[in-house]
Amino acid sequence: MQKITIIICSLILVFIFSCSPYREKQTQLYKSESYTLSSRSVIWGNFKAEVISGDEIHSSFQGSDEIAFDSTEGLYVWKLRENISAYPEYKSDTVIVDALYKMSLGELEKLKTKDGLFFNAGAKWYGVWTRDVSYSILLSLAVIAPEISKRSLMKRVDNGKIIQDTGTGGSWPVSSDRMIWALAAWEVYKVTGDKKWLENIYSIIKKSVQTDIKTIFSPDGLVSGESTFLDWREQTYPEWMQPIDIYHSVALGTNAVHYQTYNILYKISKLLNQPSEEYKLIAERLKKEINDKLWLAKRGYYAQYLYGRHYMSVSKRSEALGEALSVLFDIADRQQQSSVIENTPVVDYGIPIIYPEIPGIRPYHNNAIWPFVQAYWNLAAAKVKNEKALKNGLASIYRAAALFLTNKENMVAGNGNSKGTAINSDRQLWSVAGNIAMVYRIFAGMQFEPDKLIFHPVIPEEYGSDRIIENFKYRNAVLNIRIRGYGTIIDSFKVNGKEQTLPEISGDISGNYNIEIKMANNDFNPSRINLRKLKFSTKTPKIILKGEQLIWNAIPNAKVYEIYKNGQLIKTQKDTAYKIEDRTNYAEYQVKCVGRNNPESFLSNPVVLENASIIEVESFTAKSNLPFKNFSGKGFVELSLKKNLKIEIPVNITETGNYLISFRYSNGAGRMCCTNKCGLRTLSIDKKTIGTIVFPVIVKDEWSEWGFSNSFPVKLNKGHHLFKIKYNDYNENMNGKVNRVMLDYLKLVKL
């Protein structure tokens, strides 16, 4: 009955609004096939949101979990009730933006912890999370709440290192995006100019990257680990990929974060007169490898990630946050930046987190739009001055926030609805920060540098000709800013009535300042976007080896199957079986399905042909008496912070060659999805360090479930070698107290 009432009220509202005196004041900001966004309203099918004033919005859609139905109005009603006087005031010709700015500030106040010292991550996400608070600070919280931002960042430091949020396989180093903290901390410094803060974060960032350098850099020079913020395995990876496969993979967004981290560490080191060249070289190498390995020239944007076992392949899906960061951090050159914004697929409701979507997976990261990611995409669109992409992106954020009456965590990409995702939270911190960022980063165009504040507004004509920011605190100064006009070019820039050549102010100023910016009312340069209908990829085949044949399940609507050997396409066929002619050498086989109407699938699970030598570890170290099962040989060895901190394994190599080295192990210390107890040790051969052995969590409390660690390609000469497994300081995981695995055997495979 309530739903019928809501629909009737919605239709009445649409009728009343069409006759309202507000109608002539309306400016259409964006119109798509699915909705219309105007300066005072949103119409989405039978649902409507209307801005009553800068302090009140009515909506006929139940998007918020916290706002009750107002029976008097027959609608859901948001009213500003929080005290937001501590923040700058914003007014413009576009009332919907003004109201949503106030709503976002009100939600930010509600997100403060009870003591007012920190920011919670959302209505359903209590506590401070490294990536949530860092991405939020980078967007806008450093600008308007620098002191709480500092405290929130420091809460995510332990033992002088940045804490990785819990995630796949026991967190770091399977999840490896914690360095977004460094970007946020640097942004706080640029806003505040606080030298003590700079000195403090320098030691934290430096200590954190020292462990990363020894743990997550892959042989090809890129950073391994899970895609940044996409920490729900099956939402963005093929079903067959386990935590160790994700550790092996190389993701666009995560590498972009690490590239910028080393850039920042280089700049901080120079400011503090510390050695810096090492960090510059790492950043340059990362940038080169990202462009060499992940740039898809034919598609005009970057690949989602590299994945596989020993031989890696490219996932040609787009990944929205990584694409945006590649533009914002200048990983892409100017031509590539424009190409990324023009060619990355977007849909009616904004930019999907990945494209195409994975079939059979409930919306969350898959088939979803996240307002905070949309905000980064909008910043990238503004940077390259792509008007079409920017207007689509602004509308994505404003439509959702006005209809839902809150800054939701996410929405379904296919229909724009806040309902239907696996989890969704009101007043999600980074969604709030993204909404606020549109005012400061785009309409005012603020860019903070260590010694100054630069303005470069990017304003579509539809978004009005007059905007005011009052009581904006910048270091020791208070700024009142007025921006007239629209476009991308500043016609004049005045400070206290005096015109300046450069649109910037020094970080050394103090007192009150009036800034007047007059835009040139210029047209944007011609631009385009890759606006598409939402599509799902073809299902991924599952392959097995039966005798001498690879066989796999038939995929509905398959056009052809592509067979890959060691990451290279070797045959295209329609049959669902393939005979392997040569079984003498190590080989990895995978199959991809190309659909008739849908985009291509992921590559299938690898079938690996190998002749392995197995060396039982308990032959050289006392075996454990724990009652676990399914081990090989006579037993297994327990590694913990109290037992077997060092193990030596003599190995006799009968033939000189290249070998893959890995270890069979078990780790039942927690849930695969959300703990921080990944096992770590260092491998050396003949006193030469080879790398960090990673033992991700497999199944909670199931120490009889065995898997394989990461593998190391090593050239070994014929003869005797001494393998050593040792716990070093840089093998400390995010838990710190539990770093425990059961070790079954060492496996050597000749390549």
Residue 27 lies in a domain: no
Share of the chain above pLDDT 90, in %: 93
DSSP alpha helix (H) spans, 273-333: 277-294, 320-328
Share of the chain above pLDDT 70, in %: 97
Of the residues 294, 317, 332, the one at which a domain ends: 332
C-alpha–C-alpha distance, residues 256 and 267, integer Å = 17
Predicted pLDDT of residue 183:
98
Residue 590 lies in a domain: yes
As a whole number, the mean pLDDT across the chain is 95
DSSP H/E element including 377: helix 371-383
Whether the pLDDT of residue 21 is over 50: the answer is: no
Q: Can you say whether the dihedral through the CA atoms of 473, 103, 183, 113 is positive or negative?
A: positive
Residue 302 lies in a domain: yes
Residue 680 lies in a domain: yes
> Which one, of 388, 415, 306, lies nearest residue 35 by Cα?
415
Whether the pLDDT of residue 687 is over 70: the answer is: yes
Residues 727 and 645 in one domain: yes
The pLDDT tens digits for 312-322 are 999 999 999 99
Contact by Cβ (8 Å): 438, 379: no
Predicted pLDDT of residue 16:
39
pLDDT mean over 201-219: 95
Whether the pLDDT of residue 332 is over 80: the answer is: yes
Of the residues 312, 332, 352, the one at which a domain ends: 332
Predicted pLDDT of residue 582:
84
Whether the pLDDT of residue 8 is over 70: the answer is: no
Predicted pLDDT of residue 15:
44
Amino acid at 451: D
Residues 148 and 287 in one domain: yes
Burial class (CB in 10 A: 0-12, 13-18, 19+), 676: buried
> Which one, of 480, 611, 609, lies nearest residue 543 by Cα?
609
Residues 209 and 169 in one domain: yes
Residues 575 and 661 in one domain: no
Residues 541 and 689 in one domain: no
Residues 587 and 650 in one domain: no
Predicted pLDDT of residue 25:
65
The angle formed by the CA atoms of residues 405, 409 and 414, to the nearest 5 degrees, is: 90
CATH number at residue 595: 2.60.40.10
pLDDT mean over 62-69: 94
Of the residues 609, 643, 659, the one at which a domain ends: 609
Residues 660 and 592 in one domain: no
Domain that holds residue 327: 112-332
C-alpha–C-alpha distance, residues 245 and 232, integer Å = 14
Predicted pLDDT of residue 22:
36
Residues 130 and 233 in one domain: yes
Residues 157 and 295 in one domain: yes
C-alpha–C-alpha distance, residues 583 and 23, integer Å = 74
Whether the pLDDT of residue 341 is over 70: the answer is: yes
Q: How far is CA 482 from CA 431, 435, 518, 641, in A?
A: 26, 20, 8, 60
Predicted pLDDT of residue 453:
98
| pLDDT class of 57 with cuts at 50, 70, 90 | very high
> Which one, of 152, 162, 166, lies nearest residue 211 by Cα?
162
Q: At what angle do helices 146-154 and 180-192 cross, to 10 degrees?
A: 150
Contact by Cβ (8 Å): 205, 157: no
Residues 117 and 213 in one domain: yes
Predicted pLDDT of residue 548:
92
DSSP H/E element including 544: strand 543-546
DSSP code for 474 = E
C-alpha–C-alpha distance, residues 440 and 457, integer Å = 9
pTM reported for the whole predicted model? 0.95
| pLDDT class of 166 with cuts at 50, 70, 90 | confident
The pLDDT tens digits for 260-302 are 999 999 999 999 999 999 999 999 999 999 999 999 999 999 9
C-alpha–C-alpha distance, residues 405 and 59, integer Å = 7
CATH number at residue 245: 1.50.10.10
Residues 570 and 701 in one domain: no
Residue 2 lies in a domain: no
Residue 723 lies in a domain: yes
Residues 641 and 694 in one domain: yes
Residue 674 lies in a domain: yes
The pLDDT tens digits for 706-727 are 999 999 999 999 999 999 999 9
C-alpha–C-alpha distance, residues 598 and 73, integer Å = 46
Number of domains composing the chain: 3
pLDDT mean over 161-181: 94
CATH number at residue 654: 2.60.120.260
